[in-house]
Amino acid sequence: MAFVRAGLILAAALAAGWWFAATPATATEDEPENLPEGPGREETFYSCTACHGMAIVTQQGMSRARWDDTIDYMMARHGMPELDPADRKLVVEYLSVHFPSRQRGATNPFLKR
């Protein structure tokens, strides 16, 4: 009984278009040109967008150490392929120059000890 009822509800929902589209109508193209210019831009763009958009990257503001740690995290947690050392240096450099920590607190005295 419950089964039939649920089935009917689902069918009605489908007909009503209740299960709306899974992608936003205005998907923006990710392009390297949308990132700030500088050495490492292409390397960064291509090594990060294999999986996700750049928006999760550009939302961040982090120190060099934390950007470097983020690369390890991407490899360990999400299976990102290892970058060769020269590329990794470029990418970390690019990210820490263009997406540094912008907020108060970034200069905590204990971080220098």
Could you list the residues that contact ligand HEC (CB under 6 A)?
47-48, 50-52, 56-57, 60, 70-71, 74, 78-80, 91, 95
User: Residue 86 touches which of ligand HEC, other proteins, none (CB < 5 to 8 A by kind)?
Assistant: none
Q: Extract the tokens encoding 102.
A: 């912008």
CA nearest to 31, candidates 51, 50, 44, 45? 45
Distances (CA, A) of 9 to 1, 19, 59, 64, 100: 12, 12, 40, 53, 50
Output 102 or 113, the one with its CB closest to ligand HEC.
102
Amino acid at 27: A
Total number of residues that touch other proteins (CB under 8 A):
53
Contact 48, 85 (CB under 8 A): no
Residues 9 to 68 in contact with other proteins, rule: CB under 8 A: 9-10, 13, 17-28, 50-53, 55-56, 58-63, 65-66
Residue 75 CB, nearest approach to ligand HEC (Å): 8
